[in-house]
């Protein structure tokens, strides 16, 4: 097949964003669902931002021939701040990979009655297989799993709408929460998911050959993410009074349609964790291989073992403690990237020299 680079890049980017929080509905209910129908505006704004982010970053990478996220951060933030943020991003990748392994262990324990450590081990072994095949493995894994995730989420969403209609149990929603209003909440959600996206985009940029493929990557991936988010948000708004407070709202919604959907949606959750795990893990392996001058396969073998102490802290504790901190860092970096990008194309840049 010709000119499929943008499809591969899109699916890898989508797979990076769709973690357990997205597919479970927990993030969607927290950042959008609480605002009722105003959350739809937030989804639309986030969709636009997720479509714009890869375009801005990839165009800059191609223009300056940037080879990694360390170089990208130094270009954007300067030498000292860039190296500091790059170090924090490396830590984030390690923690993100650890969290996804912990999430795999939690699901295997709660849904399949397997030992927590066995669940983490299974997830670690499967990610290792992908890492050994490098970008090709990352691409194939996402090409297989992302369509399953998209179809599964849309199917559950459509079923919920067809059965219940569009009678929303949370129409008006809150005006202000701890995240602010729907606008600030959608911006926080975007930044919350941006860090790993920045890293993976710098890692896979060589898949794309020209500006057209970059534009297609942004538009296609942003559109798919927006559609999936809407088909999670609408069922949540319909069943809000029944699922608010649940750890996995979408699993409860799938179960309310039919018990036979519990296991398929559990697979969707595991797949969502897996696509995020391989994105974070692969980016970390590439970075450490460059820094330590070690073979990538050696790092790929050592990485899962190195994450065990962190993963054993537990999925929920890791998510609630560490992700919000990185979310604020993401907001800062994204603001700098967009402002810097605008200054490069607007005439105002001439007056700042």
The reported pTM is 0.88
CATH number of 5-342: 3.40.640.10, 3.40.50.720, 3.40.50.880, 1.10.4160.10? Answer: 1.10.4160.10
Read off the tokens for 118: 């066995």
State the Cα–Cα distance between residues 254 and 154, nearest whole angstrom: 11
Across the strands, what pairs with 180? 177
Helix (H), strand (E) counts: the chain: 17, 0
Q: At residue 180, what are phi and psi to the nearest 5 degrees?
A: 90, -145
Give me the tens of pLDDT residue by residue for the chain, a chain 353 residues long: 456 789 999 999 999 998 877 888 888 998 899 999 999 999 999 999 999 999 988 988 888 888 877 888 888 888 888 888 888 888 888 888 887 887 788 788 777 778 878 888 888 899 999 998 988 899 999 999 999 999 999 999 999 999 999 888 888 888 887 778 999 889 888 887 887 888 888 888 888 888 999 999 999 999 999 999 999 999 999 999 888 878 788 989 999 999 999 999 999 989 998 999 999 899 889 888 888 888 888 998 888 888 877 666 655 555 555 666 677 777 778 888 777 766 665 544 444 44
Let me know the angle formed at the C-alpha of 131 by 129 and 134, rounded to the nearest 5 degrees. 120
Instruction: Go through 335-352 and write b for each residue having 16 or more CB atoms within 10 A of its CB, e for each that does not.
Output: eebeeebeeeeeeeeeee
Spatial separation of the C-alpha atoms in residues 224 and 141, rounded to whole Å = 17
- What are the extents of the domains in the chain? 5-342
């Amino acid at each position: 097949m010709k000119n499929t680079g943008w499809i591969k890049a899109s699916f890898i980017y989508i797979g990076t964003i769709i973690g357990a929080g997205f597919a479970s509905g927990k993030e969607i209910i927290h950042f959008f669902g609480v605002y009722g129908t105003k959350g739809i505006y937030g989804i639309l704004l986030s969709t636009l931002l997720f479509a714009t982010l890869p375009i801005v970053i990839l165009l800059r990478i191609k223009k300056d021939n940037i080879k990694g996220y360390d170089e990208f951060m130094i270009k954007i933030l300067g030498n000292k701040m860039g190296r500091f943020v790059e170090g924090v991003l490396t830590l984030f990748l390690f923690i993100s990979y650890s969290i996804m392994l912990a999430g795999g262990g939690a699901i295997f324990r709660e849904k399949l009655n397997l030992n927590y450590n066995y669940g983490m081990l299974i997830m670690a072994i499967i990610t290792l297989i992908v890492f050994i095949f490098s970008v090709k493995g990352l691409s194939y894994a996402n090409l297989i799993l992302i369509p399953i995730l998209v179809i599964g989420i849309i199917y559950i969403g459509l079923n919920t709408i067809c059965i219940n209609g569009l009678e929303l149990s949370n129409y008006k929603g809150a005006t202000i929460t701890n995240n602010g209003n729907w606008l600030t909440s959608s911006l926080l959600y975007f930044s919350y998911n941006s860090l790993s996206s920045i890293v993976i985009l710098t890692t896979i940029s060589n898949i794309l050959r020209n500006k057209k493929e970059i534009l297609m990557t942004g538009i296609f991936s942003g559109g798919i993410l927006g559609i999936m988010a809407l088909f999670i948000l609408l069922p949540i708004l319909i069943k809000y009074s029944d699922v608010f407070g649940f750890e996995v709202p979408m699993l409860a919604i799938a179960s309310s349609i039919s018990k036979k959907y519990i296991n398929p949606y559990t697979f969707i959750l595991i797949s969502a964790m897996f696509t995020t795990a391989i994105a974070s893990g692969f980016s970390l392996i590439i970075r450490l291989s460059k820094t330590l001058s070690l073979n990538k396969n050696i790092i790929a073998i050592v990485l899962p073992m190195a994450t065990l102490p962190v993963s054993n802290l537990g999925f929920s504790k890791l998510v609630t403690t560490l992700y919000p901190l990185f979310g604020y860092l993401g907001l800062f970096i994204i603001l700098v990237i967009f402002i810097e990008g605008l200054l490069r194309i607007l005439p105002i840049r001439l007056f700042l020299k």
